[in-house]
Chain A
């Protein structure tokens, strides 16, 4: 009797200990996650607080950047929309981004597929060679590119960016997609061919849907590149009506040595926050376990 009671006490103690260990692990996880969330969120918070600050508040070094010492104001946003072509910049950015995405997909998907599936051993080396092209910096390439853009009659036009940006999105995205295609088993494609489709039909119906996470990554990457590319845009475009956000706001809200910080922050936040939200919503959903259970157990 007592032996049983003793044993039960030991078990209970062990269970309590295991419980503490679990709680400890959980606590650590949450601490790390919280710290990481703060790390990611603080720049955004700072940005948003700054947008509504008056100059006297912002430029007083003793003021807490996360508090309003003077009443908040909308003047800075008004300045952004009324005294610069911000709306045009955003429209141009979306225009360029959309076209760059389309061109990149049209070129990179077949290229990556061919390099992974058809050329055997050569595929890998060619893929790396293509990737190396991406590493040549725009600061070197913009001089010859200017010549090309001029020859095409696209100087000072947003079309110049549509033409030039794929030169770095395609190599990188091809390389990226090669990784995705490599993870897709041949079997699925061959099965689709047995099931009644041509090779092209098999690619469209079996390979592309399964590599959707990769294609979404390509879209995200191309959009992000278009949004933050600076050197080419600065070199090719001077008139305000053709600028994208990244050069538009920096050329028009930094006048000499005067930085319109609040309006700059507003310009960045207005495009960055929606994009960040879209990324979190979509990528998360698509990437997780998409190819799991395709083959084997």
Chain B
């Protein structure tokens, strides 16, 4: 068990802007920390530097309070699961799982015990003699996790481990993975570009864009209290509405955007909303339209009846406590 910390970590490839730009980040012990960001934002590079597969241009990586920046991956006592699972195709499942133990030169008998233990946790005992190519995507993922688990690492590093699964399998894998992490209690860093995975699994989420951490917090903090317009629009489907007014950007979630229905409350801000299109999604309805020239979306549970007048401005309101304000120049949050 250990914490992970990075200090001023920077990675520069060639002449361009740095892939990772002076990131400071510290995990808590046993935490499930998600690095979330669009592709190319530097989250995988950050993970690879923690794992030792990439040498930082600047800054330090600490595992369990010890500086490991210049140690090779094998000395860091970490386990990593790649997006591709990176199973050794020429080895059976058993040999794949036993591989890190062989590297430690553990006695054969002990290897067998540990492999059996890891295989039972992940429910893959019956596949031990198969080759990776004979397994389904979900089974391969479990083999990769068993291989990571078997060496009892200080830290798990997971790089988009669910992205090769189909949508249905992904939901159950999310659940399995989270339960697995809770039961073994090992500090885990999980990289993803999928906000549903991040929100559903993370104890905390670090939102990364262009090599910098934009915000770090619990899923609720990130969603309810975004630090800037990037975070506000990156999370949530559909994302937060952003409307410029009085020299500020007003931000509000589509679910807080409702018809005024003639109310005269002072606690609300009013917008003239022109609906262009309705999307019926079964459990909810989305109304796409514009406020002035800014695009906006309203979202309703399918159970509520909303009168629809396509193409005509209708008065909509947002409660003041649900409004966030951003600086139009920097995109950062201004405290109201």
Binding site for B on A (CB under 8 A): 185, 187-188, 190-198, 201, 205-206, 209-210, 212, 289-297
B227 to chain A, nearest CB (A): 33
Q: Does B134 sit at the interface, judged by CB under 8 A?
A: yes
Flag the segment in B96-104, B244-252, B314-322 that touches A: B96-104
A91 to chain B, nearest CB (A): 35
Query: 11 more A-B contacts (CB under 8 A) besides A206-B88, A294-B89?
Result: A188-B87, A190-B80, A190-B86, A192-B99, A196-B103, A196-B104, A289-B133, A293-B87, A293-B140, A295-B84, A295-B85
User: Does more than half of chain B's interface fall in helix, strand or loop, or is it mixed?
Assistant: loop
B88 with A196: CB separation less than 8 A: no
Taking CB atoms and an 8 Å cut-off, the chain B residues in 36-81 that contact chain A are 51-53, 72-74, 78-80
- Please indicate the chain B residues that have their CB under 8 angstroms from the CB of A294 in the complex: 84, 86-89, 132-133
Q: Interface residue tally of chain B, by bracket?
A: 20 to 34
B198 to chain A, nearest CB (A): 23
Assembly CA distance A188 to B85 (angstroms):
9
B90 with A210: CB separation less than 8 A: yes
Q: Does B151 sit at the interface, judged by CB under 8 A?
A: yes
- Please indicate the chain A residues that have their CB under 8 angstroms from the CB of B137 in the complex: 297
Partner of A194, one of B80, B131, B132, B164: B80
Q: Does B333 sit at the interface, judged by CB under 8 A?
A: no
- Please indicate the chain B residues that have their CB under 8 angstroms from the CB of A206 in the complex: 88
B131 with A293: CB separation less than 8 A: yes
A96 to chain B, nearest CB (A): 31
Partner of A198, one of B74, B85, B104: B74
Given A293-B133, A297-B164, A194 contacting B51 (CB threshold 8 A):
yes
Cβ-closest chain B residue relative to A212: B90
Q: Does B135 sit at the interface, judged by CB under 8 A?
A: yes
Assembly CA distance A187 to B144 (angstroms):
12
Partner of B90, one of A190, A191, A195, A209: A209
Given A185-B84, A193-B72, A194-B73, A296 contacting B164 (CB threshold 8 A):
yes
A186 to chain B, nearest CB (A): 9
Cβ-closest chain B residue relative to A184: B89
A187 with B72: CB separation less than 8 A: no
- Please indicate the chain A residues that have their CB under 8 angstroms from the CB of B147 in the complex: 195
Q: Which 7 A-B pairs have the closest CB atoms?
A: A293-B133, A196-B103, A295-B84, A187-B86, A294-B89, A191-B86, A195-B100
B78 with A194: CB separation less than 8 A: yes
Assembly CA distance A296 to B137 (angstroms):
7
Given A289-B133, A295-B84, A197 contacting B89 (CB threshold 8 A):
no
A207 to chain B, nearest CB (A): 10
- Please indicate the chain A residues that have their CB under 8 angstroms from the CB of B87 in the complex: 188, 293-295
What would 29 A/B residue contacts be, using CB atoms closer than 8 Å? Answer: A187-B83, A187-B84, A187-B86, A188-B88, A190-B82, A191-B82, A191-B88, A192-B99, A193-B74, A194-B52, A194-B80, A195-B74, A195-B103, A196-B74, A198-B72, A201-B103, A210-B90, A290-B89, A292-B89, A292-B133, A293-B87, A293-B132, A294-B88, A295-B82, A295-B85, A296-B84, A297-B136, A297-B140, A297-B164
B51 to chain A, nearest CB (A): 6
Cβ-closest chain A residue relative to B76: A194
B151 with A291: CB separation less than 8 A: no
- Please indicate the chain A residues that have their CB under 8 angstroms from the CB of B99 in the complex: 192, 195, 205
- Please indicate the chain B residues that have their CB under 8 angstroms from the CB of A201 in the complex: 103
Assembly CA distance A292 to B164 (angstroms):
16
Partner of B89, one of A190, A195, A198, A291: A291
Assembly CA distance A30 to B73 (angstroms):
54
A284 to chain B, nearest CB (A): 17
Taking CB atoms and an 8 Å cut-off, the chain B residues in 201-238 that contact chain A are none
